[in-house]
Structure 1
Amino acid sequence: MNGKLNSTIGLPAALSTVVGMVIGSGVFFKPQAIYTATNGAPGLGIIAWILGGIITITAGLTAAEVSAAIPKTGGMMTYLSEIYGEKIGFLTGWMQTVLYFPGTIAALAVIFSQQVSELMGYGPQNMVVVLPVSLGIIIFIALLNTVGSSFGGFIQTVSTICKLLPLILIIIFGFIKGNGNPILTPLVGGETTVIGSLGQVLIATLFAYDGWINVGAIAGEMKSPEKNLPLAIVGGLSIVMAVYILINLAYLWVAPASELATSVAPAALVAQKIFGNTGGKLISIGILISVFGALNGYLLTAPRVPYVLSKEGLLPGSKIFSKLNKGGSPYNSIWLIAGLGCIYALSGQFNLLSDLTIFIIWVFYIFTFYGVVKLRKEKPDMVRPYKVPLYPIVPIVAILGGLFVIINQLITMTLVSLGGIIVTLIGLLVYSYKIKLR
């Protein structure tokens, strides 16, 4: 054993990895937020899926240079620690631990429970059903991941099939059976403006595209990463973007944007119109399994961040959260993430939670993009298995796209955004305190 990862991943496997990591719950549920923001008009929503895809592709191409140049475990937390120092690296891990991961888990649990409530005939906003199911599903999956990880692999395989099948069926039969509705006009409805709505719809689409940051993690195991990694990113994310645009065109072909804006589960609504009550329920069950798989994926991977921080003695209660059980599972870190997820889930607000997590994670994504520029200047001789193409245009597009979303979110959702920033900055106090104890 030479301690190095074997270069065994070819382009087809890399493409499927990219597609599998990115397609999740957002494509099934975010059309409601998008068409609510456009005031029931279709045009800007479709444009947002295209813009979100372009921003995501530039983001993936840019971040991949950092991850390929710093082939260490730990993800973005490790990259930013190497580029900006331990304090920024800790702040990244702190943000992921207290906001991003539990917030995303909570958002997925809420939308899962709303779909369950809808299937049971109680309606998606029945908190008597939604709250206990939200908390129950988080606790159940945390328990499974605490006991062992073999179940996790099985769930990921099943959920991958279950998230692709509804998409394929709705795309095919949506265009066959749909009556046709306006798709590109009008851009926005009523007194809504394009500029005023663009940030909100982009935040929604970027949630659906999230997961691309993990793409660079496979660079060390790829054959010819300098050639195949950009092809996998551009190809994989282009496939995702094409699927997202096609499915949203199919949604609109079956149901008008004004109707999609009123449905918590637009995909289930469209499926019911296409396949009837029984077929619609079967599609809805497939979507539920997909969301279950996404929840499992986050609760499987997220605890690694507080575990690593605790191993370095940087989190309060590090002795507790750095423990492993007999199965090698960081069980206390799992329950930390799950516990925070349960607290966030009490809000019962899918769109609010997902908007918060995307806002705060994109702040750190921009640090990652600028890290490429910083490393090019400060370490020109650094070994780079892969370099972002069309430098510096691609990183600049990624940075500007991220800045637009963040600034717009600060203006339109000021209190929520500032709350996320304040909770993140509390990490500086925690870091200073823990450093003094070293």
Structure 2
Amino acid sequence: MEKNELKKEIGLLSASAVVIGMVIGSGVFFKPTAIYTATGAPGLGMIAWVIGGFITIAGGLTAAEVAAAIPKTGGMIVWLEETYGQIWGFLLGWVETVISFPANIAALGIIFATQAVSLLGLNDGMLVTIAIISILFLIVMNCLGAKVGGNIQTIFTIGKMVPIFAIIVFGIIKGNGGVVRIFPVTVASHPIATSLGSALLATMFAYDGWIHIGNISGELKNPKKDLPKAIIGGLFFVMAVYILINLAYLFVLPASALAATKTPATDVATLIFGSVGGKVITIGILISIFGTLNGNILTGMRVPYAMALENRLPGSKLLSTLNSKTRTPIYSGVLIGIIAIIMTLVGNFNQLTDLLVFVLWFFYVMTFIAVIVLRKKQPDLKRPYIVPLYPVVPIIAIIGGLYIIINTMITQPLNAGLGIVLTIIGLPIYFIKKNKAIK
């Protein structure tokens, strides 16, 4: 094994667990508040969950073709470079290194700590401390090896399904709202186009994370077969879970009540199971968030490592170094952790999540378009998996992504502007490193 070669020790089960574990996390428990606030009506909120699911699945079906054809560590970074050139891969890697992964890790750490403080009755002053400790703990665990991180992911993914299925089953059975809670579909005070767009932005955070399985392609035992299976199977499973659990929410509480609380899942669980049962479900929610946090650290620390291998970041020699025993990029993990901790100290959950979703969807759309471009540029490229119903499925993914981007620029111009500025900041670094390489 070469000095900088990662171990191929992740199988289909762990890969699927990474997809499901990274997607099902805090969003399904906390984003109903933002969704039903945006729509003002339960019907449109449910439509947002369904449309978001179909856009995500269309994106997954599309991206899986590129992932299987180019199964290299770095995931989407490598796919964009292969299609459009180095600058686009660099910009995505820059965004993932300094914005999206740290922001996601920070947001998850904050929401994990918020739930923990509430459950244990601790002082709010402990929130930041707990968030930082949880982040540091999982960084250390993932530095012990991909197998350790993968095993943690599998265990917590299985564990998180317990509270989810409990809410689904007992919420639908015991909920007294029934199907009437799904209506009305819209209300006059919330314009459909902008309301649906804002709700979709929230659902896309809940569905986000699946594409980062590509970051650990180089550590999969059989990436060409397992990667598309993990993406597609995982996303269909997630969409079914999201629709069912939101039906359960609405069977127990009206949309107005879900919009008015910061902890919709906990409130629903308390009504179903009582105060003690509600606390048990809250523990399950903590397990879910913890697993998602682990998945983001597991995949996120591979991004600066992959970029450093090509000497594209300051300090690349250190960032590309693997631990001699565990074969993990520990210094890249430390970098991601430091940025995430800084964001934990200065950011808040909703702002961080909206920012990262907006920025990433620029690159998601480019990835979906890449399937069409590569078929023309490299028709002889070996494709173990072919996107079904081509080009209909890629077009659905592209249109859905563009709708999210344009709507965000209209409804949240400051957030959109901040995301664009932070992305553009990476350009000087790219050209400085490129010019040094030429000299």
Q: What TM-score do the two structures reach when normalised by structure 1?
A: 0.89
Letter in 1 for 2:154: T
| Alignment CA distance shift 1:207-1:346 (3 Å) | same
Give CA deviations for 1:197-249 in whole Å, capped at 9, x if unaligned.
11111111111112332567779866995xx9877755543332121111001
Give CA deviations for 1:366-415 in whole Å, capped at 9, x if unaligned.
11111111111222222222221111111111000000001111111111
The answer to whether the 8 Å contact 2:102/2:343 transfers is yes
Give CA deviations for 1:161-201 in whole Å, capped at 9, x if unaligned.
22100111111111222111643322344621111111111
Q: What is the aligned partner in structure 2 of residue 199 from structure 1? A: 197
Per the TM alignment, residue 151 of structure 1 is displaced from its structure 2 partner at its CA by 4.5
The answer to whether the 8 Å contact 1:229/1:386 transfers is no
Q: What is the aligned partner in structure 2 of residue 37 from structure 1? A: 38
C-alpha distance in 2, partners of 1:437/1:237?
A: 42
C-alpha distance in 1, partners of 2:16/2:74?
A: 22
| Alignment CA distance shift 1:102-1:167 (3 Å) | same
Map 1:287-326; keep pairs closer than 5 Å: 287-326=285-324
C-alpha distance in 1, partners of 2:70/2:224?
A: 17
C-alpha distance in 2, partners of 1:342/1:233?
A: 29
Q: What is the aligned partner in structure 2 of residue 264 from structure 1? A: 262
The answer to whether the 8 Å contact 1:162/1:287 transfers is no
Q: What is the aligned partner in structure 1 of residue 406 from structure 2? A: 407
Q: What is the aligned partner in structure 1 of residue 82 from structure 2? A: 82
Map 1:14-25; keep pairs closer than 5 Å: 19-20=20-21, 22-25=23-26
Secondary structure (helix, strand or coil) at the match of 2:73 reads: coil
C-alpha distance in 2, partners of 1:352/1:294?
A: 18
C-alpha distance in 2, partners of 1:186/1:366?
A: 33
Q: What is the aligned partner in structure 2 of residue 362 from structure 1? A: 361
Map 1:122-133; keep pairs closer than 5 Å: 127-133=124-130
C-alpha distance in 2, partners of 1:379/1:191?
A: 50
Per the TM alignment, residue 131 of structure 1 is displaced from its structure 2 partner at its CA by 2.3
Secondary structure (helix, strand or coil) at the match of 2:185 reads: coil
Equivalent in 139, 142, 150 of residue 139 of structure 2? 142
C-alpha distance in 2, partners of 1:83/1:259?
A: 47
Alignment identity in percent? 53
| Alignment CA distance shift 1:232-1:160 (3 Å) | closer
| Alignment CA distance shift 1:9-1:313 (3 Å) | closer
Structure 2, unmatched stretches of 5+, are none
C-alpha distance in 2, partners of 1:278/1:263?
A: 19
Letter in 2 for 1:70: I
Q: What is the aligned partner in structure 1 of residue 55 from structure 2? A: 55
Q: What is the aligned partner in structure 2 of residue 416 from structure 1? A: 415
| Alignment CA distance shift 1:151-1:68 (3 Å) | closer
C-alpha distance in 2, partners of 1:153/1:406?
A: 33
The answer to whether the 8 Å contact 1:362/1:406 transfers is yes
Structure 1, unmatched stretches of 5+, are none
Q: What TM-score do the two structures reach when normalised by structure 2?
A: 0.89
C-alpha distance in 1, partners of 2:223/2:62?
A: 19
Map 1:38-437; keep pairs closer than 5 Å: 38-39=39-40, 41-121=41-121, 127-146=124-143, 151-180=148-177, 182-189=180-187, 191-214=189-212, 225=225, 235-327=233-325, 328-437=327-436
Secondary structure (helix, strand or coil) at the match of 1:315 reads: coil
The answer to whether the 8 Å contact 1:35/1:42 transfers is yes
CA RMSD for the aligned pairs?
Answer: 2.8
C-alpha distance in 1, partners of 2:290/2:73?
A: 26
Letter in 2 for 1:76: M
C-alpha distance in 1, partners of 2:373/2:223?
A: 27
Per the TM alignment, residue 141 of structure 1 is displaced from its structure 2 partner at its CA by 2.2
Letter in 1 for 2:320: S
| Alignment CA distance shift 1:425-1:114 (3 Å) | same
The answer to whether the 8 Å contact 1:130/1:348 transfers is no
C-alpha distance in 2, partners of 1:229/1:429?
A: 34
Give CA deviations for 1:4-30 in whole Å, capped at 9, x if unaligned.
x99x978x9987775455333211111
Secondary structure (helix, strand or coil) at the match of 2:262 reads: coil
C-alpha distance in 2, partners of 1:347/1:44?
A: 33
C-alpha distance in 1, partners of 2:236/2:149?
A: 28
Give CA deviations for 1:247-279 in whole Å, capped at 9, x if unaligned.
001011111111111222211111111111111
C-alpha distance in 2, partners of 1:231/1:307?
A: 25
The answer to whether the 8 Å contact 2:361/2:401 transfers is yes
Per the TM alignment, residue 143 of structure 1 is displaced from its structure 2 partner at its CA by 3.1
| Alignment CA distance shift 1:131-1:215 (3 Å) | closer
How many residues of Structure 1 are paired with residues of Structure 2 in the alignment?
428
| Alignment CA distance shift 1:296-1:229 (3 Å) | closer
Per the TM alignment, residue 134 of structure 1 is displaced from its structure 2 partner at its CA by 2.0
